Structure 1
Amino acid sequence: MSNQDPSFSQDQQKEILSKYDKESGSRELTGLLAKIVFFGLLAFSLYQLWFTVFDRLPAQIHRPIHLGFGLGLIFLLFPATKRKAAKGKLSWYDYILSVLGIGVGAYWPLKYNELIQNAEISQMDFYVGVLAVVLILEATRRAVGLPITIIAALFLAYAYWGRQMPGFLVHRGVDLDNLVQSMYFTTEGILGTPLAVSSTFIFLFLLFGSFLVKTGVGQYFNDLAVTLAGKRTGGPAKVAIFSSALQGTISGSSVANVVTSGSFTIPMMKRLGYRKEFAGGVEAAASTGGQLMPPIMGAAAFLMIEFIGIDYWTIAKAAAIPAVLYFTGIWIMTHYEAKRLGLRGMADEELPDRKEVFKKLYLLAPIFAIIFFLASGLSVVMSAFYGILTTIVVGLLRPERFRKLYIGTFVGGAVAYPVVKLVTDGGIPEAVISNSLVWGAMVTILVSYLFDGNFKDSVEALVDGARTALGVVAATAAAGIIVGVVTKTGLGLKLANSLVDLAGGNLLLTLFFTMIAAIILGMGSPTTANYVITSTIAAPAIILLGINDLPAHLFVFYFGIVADITPPVALAAFAAAGVSGGEPIRTGVNAAKLAIAAFIIPYMFVLSPELLMIDTTIPRLIWVLFTALTGMMAIGAGMIGYWYRKTYWIERVLAVAAGLALIYPNIVSDIVGLAGFTALIAAQFLYKKDMIGQPVIKPTKQEA
């Protein structure tokens, strides 16, 4: 079964991706230049793998090399303007900028001893530092987009013109030499935490995702989702939710997730009877939720490790229940919408062969393997590395190749044994000679890997992974500028104090103002960048009021992500509208309505961290999960206007109120919420006719 509707071509996917996702808008190169870029990307990945295994370089050498690779390749792959992209050719200045980017990255390794010994930078250092900042801003504009570029530039301006700032924003100012030194010649600016995480954790997990794609996991997610959810009421919508939740384990982009899975699910939803805007909204909301789903969480989990100073597994566990509630909320609302419209599930002929799908469950082995590695206490970096090796093994052991590999291994071992015996002439113990069978098997596996398509797949995965990482390199370098200015000027604390003062010290009002700030700051920014910005500027306001770091950081992370589906700048929703043909703002409104859980749950886990599995017991956790899921059912009914029958406006208000009471983890609110929930169900069954005695639901013809 294809993962793409035949009416929606690869070219159309690329067009929408390049329009709404800057990181996907790279040039299509040909000839010698294409080969140079190919080997440059391959070298980038191989260097990162070498560093992961051996880790022999200090941060001040490794991070600039990582940055140099990124800058050099970005200027070759990403055009300065859309007009240049249409021509598909490089301008003379692209070559110069690429060489300068490589030079900036090489400067630290070449002058390492001199730079770490000198307290002040030289005139040459100053020029290189200025060049580094300018190149990073331009690379970020090309590969990520204007929003984060403008924010980083404004922060630089704020640092320099601090004395002219009004009110609480005023500071003594940072002279140009000092600013350049802090930006590129310390580990508190461009070479700081964001780039450190990009050059270790994030790059490897992007490689892991790229290897998974090569094993066919992306296609398999769709087939598995259709098999498990396709026949249910409103099947395609539930396929979109299930598939997007799975895609979130390997994808770092809401927009890319929308276009990849949406090109398959949105046309199916439209054929079934969902409105264009609703179909696009389902896919946008579900795809955005992929960023909230452990284990990868759009790479933000790895930034949290460094920013908060806690282990990865604690973050993943904390994020699990909110992510489940998020997807449950969307699932419930699409179910009620399908019931309201009288929509069926998919027909048998539209479903893939169930047996064939379940035969390929082994494709999920790398995902379970990486979760096992992380849970067992292995470092995040090595877990990603072993996850990549697992995908290679899974590729080798595909059923269509396994028989050939098995026979080859047996033959290789059988041949190796007498050869070793003859060569050694009995001079090596029998136990060692018997190991020749193992060596023969290893040789056969290696030969199979090199000549049976796996090696080519692996090389392409290395190249694709590095290409995907380029936007992250630029975004995290620009985010480092923001973090560096905040550190130098104390701006984060000033903004936090201003938010708290504006709210009069009230926690709920502070959370509300922080939510608005996080949504605005997150508009148009990729996951990694918007988390760095929101955690630096918005999270301190919550922490000032005595909230623990983890709930505060997850709060701003959620709303930074939700910006992708919150009008007026809702990139994921606009991309979904591009696929569905619907009106973009209405698609965004539908997506925001479906993702209502993402607007509620963060408040709940800040007010009661039990939802994050913090300071709770298993019985209490089970109860909290039960009441929260029940609450999502009630809220879904209130938002859609249908439960077992059509709901009247007063029932909708009461349903939302009962749902909120159930989600909030408090015994009194739980009792009130359960009472309201029970009363509403009773009313649904007691009054099955509307006021004029006609059947409540009349399926209407929807636009296809």
Structure 2
Amino acid sequence: MRKLQGLTAKAFYLYVLAMGFFHLYTALFGTFEAYLQRAIHLTWVLPMAFILYPIGGKKEGQEIADSTIPWYDWALAAASLAPGLYIMMNYTDITYRMAQVDPVTTAQLILGSLLTVLLIEATRRVVGLPLAIIAAFFTAYMYLGHYMPGIMKGLSFSFHEVIEQIYLIDEGIFSIPLGVSATFVMIFLIFGGFLEKSGVGAYFMEFAQAFTGTSPGGPAKIAVVSSALFGSISGAAVANVYGTGTFTIPLMKRIGYPPFFAAAVEAVASTGGQIMPPIMGAGAFIMASFLGVQFKVIMVAAILPAVLYYAAVLLMVHLGALKNNLKGLSPEELPDKKTVIKKLYMMSPIVVLIYLLLSGYTPMLAAVIGILAAWVVSLPEKANRMGPKAILDAIYTGAKNIPVVCIACAAAGLVVGSVSLTGIGFKFVGLVFSVASDAPFMALVMIAMVSLVLGMGLPTTSAYILGAALGVPALAKLGFPPIAAHMFVFYFAIVSNITPPVALAAYAASSIADANPNKTGFQAMKLGILAFIIPFAFSYDQGLLLSSGTTQNLIAIAGGVGSLFAMGHSMLGYTNRIIQQWQRGIFLIAGILCIWPIAWVKLTGIAVTLACSFIWRDKKS
């Protein structure tokens, strides 16, 4: 990413501010019609790809000091405005035209083609080459699919039909994923900017340090708690790693954790932020839009699996500390608990946000009120007090981060449009059925693998959209509830961040810890084991998504708690002493039984876990 300087930086600051104010205005007073709102949003963001990101492509975590923007990038930025400006100027004509009936004009063909090419290039620069290749393939498949062999052979569509699908209706580039970026995501990014500038983000770290730092393995617990708090706002695993890991990983190494284990803890904790309500990243908002439900439904469904995930990681960190006799930090090195408690009001923006979302407020309005709450909590302390300059900086900081999400969503729209037009999704459903036959569990395994592979090369949001477009129809046809099918794909798109051979969060953490990346990745998989098992469980047991009856929900909660203890003892090989391999195996089986979708089996698993935990403590066996 270029680091702009001088007049260019000032002009860019005003440009991004104007974009931020536009989205705040539409959040408060109502958005434009969906297609127009999305077109305005993309038109504002797309030039930023060519201004901020050089032709060399994405460089994770790096800024290029040279702020000189070559003439061809200025030309591409200017050209990227044309397709959107055409839509704004001719919006009425476009909305009144009849798809597949009215002809596509020469101007529309040229501008639609231009937008497609520029979007794929912007995707390569901002998001990375894998998504650009996938978007280009699905785009080309619409026009050339009838030349493909065998099962991949598609229908024949004219170039006019392809451009119409991509550019002139809301089923291509301007489909639901871009709509989520144009509404919810932008406002929550600005909300995140206010949390940073108001000191709330720093308070999360102080809170985690004060209440977990002195216990055994304290720095690792700081990593888990702070990443859960921070990650639920940022929604990006690698960003979470760099945001909190630069502090927590050196502390973990200092008290005796091996570098690979310290890196694994941070990778797992940071990855889980994307499944932790209230925000969960862009993918969760897209899921709500796909399902046609209020966002609070997604929040409620996500809460138990997320809590179990983090509780399991905390337990394993604690057991690992006891097993290796690792102490916590001294109180003198940490924030004073009384001081932290006095500043508990700093949590109020998050509390307000959760209350409003659960009360049925729209996510956009809830985020705007959360922004106001973040400004209010900044006022008591002079160091955090947000004046006019800090407010503008917060809007700029949040809005500046939109290109990655916006362009990924727009590129994913090319895939969604292709699936909609060509029916390639039905071919995938047919493939799943032919392989899985009458075994729905095998279908889950196949789609988990597809989601993992997609997530290894793509951002979580893009991987989820592609996985949902291909996998959810197959799962729905097999009888799995829609919300469980979407959550299943969402989970595996996320945990790909800690799944070798391409575990991006683990690799980012290992670079900080100076550890072996693959060793870090495999340790992260062990720590995050529940994230690989729970999705299979909630596909059969809706109680884990808190969407069954009260009794079933309570049994599911009890089973989940039993499972996290059983899995923790199994993965770490420790209760309050080292246990043998066969004992670890029994704990593993008990952990699986605890989340089995039959009540008496769950209760048996819980009983076995309790009995083994009691028997194998302080005794030789």
Confirm or deny a common fold (TM above 0.5): yes
CA displacement, residues 297-325 of structure 1 (integer Å, 9 cap, x when unaligned): 11222111210111111111010000011
CA distance in 1 between counterparts of 2:386 and 2:326 reads 44
Q: CA deviation at 1:169?
A: 2.2
Map residues 439-450 of structure 1 onto 2, 5 A cutoff: none
Judge conservation of contact 1:60–1:112 (CA < 8 Å) in 2. Answer: no
AA aligned to 1:238 is: K
Q: CA deviation at 1:114?
A: 2.7
Q: Which residue of 2 aligns with 1:643?
A: 575
Q: Which residue of 1 aligns with 2:300?
A: 317
Judge conservation of contact 1:628–1:664 (CA < 8 Å) in 2. Answer: no
CA distance in 2 between counterparts of 1:401 and 1:75 reads 36
Judge conservation of contact 1:629–1:663 (CA < 8 Å) in 2. Answer: no
Pick aligned residue for 2:53 from 66, 72, 78: 78
CA displacement, residues 520-554 of structure 1 (integer Å, 9 cap, x when unaligned): 01113223212211111122221110111100000
SS of 2:458's partner is coil
Find the structure with the greater CA-based Rg. Answer: 1
Q: Which residue of 2 aligns with 1:69?
A: 44
CA distance in 1 between counterparts of 2:432 and 2:423 reads 15
Pick aligned residue for 2:32 from 57, 60, 70: 57
Map residues 307-386 of structure 1 onto 2, 5 A cutoff: 307-386=290-369
Pick aligned residue for 2:394 from 461, 466, 469: 461
Map residues 230-245 of structure 1 onto 2, 5 A cutoff: 230-245=213-228
CA distance in 2 between counterparts of 1:477 and 1:338 reads 45
2:599 pairs with 1:624: no
Q: CA deviation at 1:56?
A: 5.9
Judge conservation of contact 2:472–2:485 (CA < 8 Å) in 1. Answer: yes
Percent identical across equivalent pairs? 40
Please say which of residues 518-527 and 80-89 is displaced more in the overlay: 80-89
Please say which of residues 513-522 and 387-396 is displaced more in the overlay: 387-396
Q: Which residue of 2 aligns with 1:35?
A: 10
SS of 1:250's partner is helix
Please say which of residues 106-115 and 580-589 is displaced more in the overlay: 106-115
Q: CA deviation at 1:220?
A: 1.0
Q: Which residue of 2 aligns with 1:652?
A: 584
SS of 1:546's partner is coil
Aligned length, in residue pairs = 613
Q: Which residue of 1 aligns with 2:542?
A: 609
Q: CA deviation at 1:233?
A: 1.3
Q: CA deviation at 1:598?
A: 0.4
Q: CA deviation at 1:399?
A: 4.2
Map residues 225-264 of structure 1 onto 2, 5 A cutoff: 225-264=208-247
Q: Which residue of 2 aligns with 1:92?
A: 71
2:73 pairs with 1:140: no
Please say which of residues 661-670 and 291-300 is displaced more in the overlay: 661-670
Q: CA deviation at 1:473?
A: 0.9
SS of 2:616's partner is helix
Change (3 A) 1:129 1:273: same
2:123 pairs with 1:191: no
CA displacement, residues 472-516 of structure 1 (integer Å, 9 cap, x when unaligned): 110010011010000001112221221122111311111111100
Unaligned runs of 5+ in 2: none
AA aligned to 1:516 is: M
CA distance in 2 between counterparts of 1:372 and 1:56 reads 23
Structural RMSD (CA): 1.7
Q: CA deviation at 1:642?
A: 1.3
2:466 pairs with 1:533: yes
AA aligned to 2:580 is: Y
CA displacement, residues 149-177 of structure 1 (integer Å, 9 cap, x when unaligned): 11111111222221122333222122211
CA distance in 1 between counterparts of 2:123 and 2:398 reads 18
CA distance in 2 between counterparts of 1:472 and 1:174 reads 30
CA displacement, residues 529-587 of structure 1 (integer Å, 9 cap, x when unaligned): 12211111122221110111100000000000011111111111111011111011111
Pick aligned residue for 2:85 from 78, 93, 106: 106
CA distance in 2 between counterparts of 1:86 and 1:56 reads 37
CA distance in 1 between counterparts of 2:360 and 2:108 reads 41
Map residues 356-505 of structure 1 onto 2, 5 A cutoff: 356-396=339-379, 398-400=380-382, 453-505=386-438
SS of 2:592's partner is helix
CA distance in 1 between counterparts of 2:483 and 2:600 reads 26
AA aligned to 1:120 is: P
TM-score for the superposition, normalised by structure 1 = 0.85
Q: CA deviation at 1:272?
A: 0.7
Judge conservation of contact 2:191–2:370 (CA < 8 Å) in 1. Answer: yes
CA displacement, residues 628-647 of structure 1 (integer Å, 9 cap, x when unaligned): 11211111111111112111
Pick aligned residue for 1:507 from 440, 445, 448: 440
Change (3 A) 1:152 1:401: closer
2:619 pairs with 1:687: yes
Q: CA deviation at 1:623?
A: 2.9
Q: Which residue of 2 aligns with 1:669?
A: 601
Q: CA deviation at 1:686?
A: 6.2
Q: Which residue of 1 aligns with 2:195?
A: 212
Please say which of residues 601-610 and 676-685 is displaced more in the overlay: 676-685
Unaligned runs of 5+ in 1: 1-25, 403-451, 690-704
Q: Which residue of 2 aligns with 1:122?
A: 105
Q: Which residue of 2 aligns with 1:567?
A: 500
